[in-house]
Structure 1
Amino acid sequence: MITNSTQVSYFILSAYFDTGMLKYLYFTIILCLYVLIILSNVFLIVLICVNRSLHEPMYLFLCSLFVNELFGSTGLFPFLLFQLLKDLHTVLVSLCFLQIFCVYSYGCREFTTLAVMSYDRYLAICHPLQYHTLMTSTKMSVLITLMWCFPFLVMAVGISLSSPLHLCGNIINNVYCNNYSIKLSCSDAKVISIYGLINVFISMCVPVMLIVYTYMRILKVCFSGSKQTRHKAVSTCTPHLASLINFVFGCVFDIISSRLDMNHVPHTLRIFLSVHFLICQPIFNPLVYGLKMSKIRNTCNNLRSGKHHELNRRAKVQ
């Protein structure tokens, strides 16, 4: 523990505990989860890219969401796997800043993407006849560009504000680098605190409010519309809402734990909840969208049946 105000060169991740030989079991489980995330998200990205029938705004936004899952999980899993095998859980300041940049830009982008997807569903369900006029390819490209550039800009500003702070400690009570500066700073952290609150409002509250508004409009149309309209809304909006609820839960806990004392929460539970939005969301999204989105499910079935017919044809020829 560093007691004097200084510019530290490394941080200690104190949430890790000695597991003995069990660390190899944990390493294997985490590695399997990471491989599952890569395979499932890459499969759906390739599926959307190579099938022209899925070259619609809704599925291209989904493709961007899956790419973001790969980005966020890669910001955590290799680091986590490396730390599991280490006996001394330290990390250089520069690498810590890099992980903070990746993890929090991932979170910001997740909310932004979900908000854009809800807006797209609002146009498709509430304005079906004008949908292709309102959601043009140019507009879609601009939205995707903003979805990726805005979080990078927000986090670049945040890191530039927090990096000059002098710290009274170098212990982060987590298994990955998070927003440590407010708790560890010896100097005045009022600016970064205000910026953090503004960032949370813009990156989390504004997208959630937009999603709530669009779904209120969608529900209004569903109650007054036909059975076909209600079925379309349920089939396309249920995965989106499930994804949002799952992600909000994980982010709210991370925000609370970074600002309040969470020592009363059991250690293992605290670790799991701290990585919930980085582990569960990249697994949850491919699963729920792959199973619930009928067009993606039908495309997978067509590919599988096509391969089956091709194998039968080759068998007959031989």
Structure 2
Amino acid sequence: MNVTYISLDGHIEVEKYRYVYFVLMFTVYILIMSSSAMVVYLIMIHKNLHEPMYIFIAALLINSMLFSTTVYPKLLIDVLSEKQIITFPVCLLQSFLFYSLSGSEFLLLAAMAYDRYVSICKPLQYPTIMRKTKVSIFLFLAWLVPACHIFVAIIIFTHLKLCNFSLRGIYCNNSINRLFCVFSRAVMIYGIVVLFNMSLLPLFFILFTYTMILLVAYRSCGEVRKKAAQTCLPHLFVIINYSSLVTSDVIVVRLESDISKTVRFLMTMQVIICSPLFNPIIYGLKMKEIYKHLRRLCYHARGS
């Protein structure tokens, strides 16, 4: 059975800095996994955090952990290897997980925005609107819908012929389009549809809900404004950060021949480091209830 290998040519001077890369990437991966797991653990064990807002935060952090695991273990193997290669089926799998989980991040952020909208704009109706069943449906759809969208694209890719076996990246992303012999207009159009459904549409929805929240907060008393600021600002920061990183990923793929290899490498690393690493820090330090339990946990750990 013939196995098709794709070389990952986005690395910079791996032979010279392989152990530096390994230590840095391994440290970042451990920080992402441990900090996210700690916040998820706190949400799980404390009953006062079993509210939709915190459940969505836990789901977002689990999604970040899955996303990081899609990229980092293979990266760590690559920097220690003589050749940075990946089989074509594994490359498709990594691309599927990368974009499926990226889409899930946007949908989870949209669900969180809706939760904050109901909490601040319709506080009396909140318990009846945000029932456990609805939260479960939102979580299920947040992971299912992007997976279905991306799976269709992957099925199309499996039927296309390869003419190029070198990928200008350090993992398999949208650059795999450049590996095929024939540029498929249908794939390009479908990619635009997926981009719109999985990122732009949720982003428009988020902007709409936060506009409504700002209007209600502006017209309300100081207590409502304080609540809006405490719960919405961390979400807004995460949304702005993640949107800029997704834009960066699109720019890297579209302009890969026009930007230097070093700039491309740094932009790519930014995509896989910033959001997964900052999310648990933002929610752990900026969400009052989570920070309270985190501080207590650290105090007990220090005391023992």
- Per the shorter chain, which TM-score range? over 0.9
Q: Displacement, 1:233?
A: 0.6
Helix, strand or coil for the counterpart of 2:83? coil
Partner of 1:291: 285
Match runs of 1:111-150 below 5 Å: 111-150=106-145
CA distance in 2, matches of 1:85, 1:15: 15
CA distance in 2, matches of 1:254, 1:301: 35
> How many residues are treated as equivalent by the alignment?
303
> Which moved further from structure 2: 297-306 or 152-161?
297-306
The answer to whether the aligner puts 1:81 opposite 2:52 as a matched pair is no
Match runs of 1:4-153 below 5 Å: 9-153=4-148
* Superimposed CA distance per residue, residues 259-290 of structure 1 (whole angstroms, 9 cap, x where no aligned partner): x3334433222112123232211101000111
Q: For the Cα contact (< 8 Å) 2:110–2:206, is it kept in 1? A: yes
CA distance in 2, matches of 1:181, 1:191: 15
Helix, strand or coil for the counterpart of 1:174? coil
The answer to whether the aligner puts 1:154 opposite 2:149 as a matched pair is yes
Q: For the Cα contact (< 8 Å) 1:34–1:73, is it kept in 2? A: yes
Q: Displacement, 1:305?
A: 4.6
Match runs of 1:216-295 below 5 Å: 216-258=211-253, 260-295=254-289
Q: For the Cα contact (< 8 Å) 1:8–1:170, is it kept in 2? A: no
How much identity, in percent, do the aligned residues show? 35
- Higher helix proportion: 2
Q: Displacement, 1:304?
A: 4.1
Q: Displacement, 1:248?
A: 0.9
Runs of 4+ aligned structure 1 residues displaced above 6 Å come to none
- In structure 2, stretches of 5+ residues that fail to align are none
- In structure 1, stretches of 5+ residues that fail to align are 1-6, 312-318
Q: Displacement, 1:227?
A: 0.6
Residue identity matched to 1:145: F
> Cα RMSD between the aligned structures?
1.7
CA distance in 2, matches of 1:68, 1:102: 11
TM-score by length of 2: 0.95
Helix, strand or coil for the counterpart of 1:20? helix
CA distance in 2, matches of 1:26, 1:196: 32
> Which moved further from structure 2: 135-144 or 180-189?
180-189
CA distance in 2, matches of 1:266, 1:21: 19
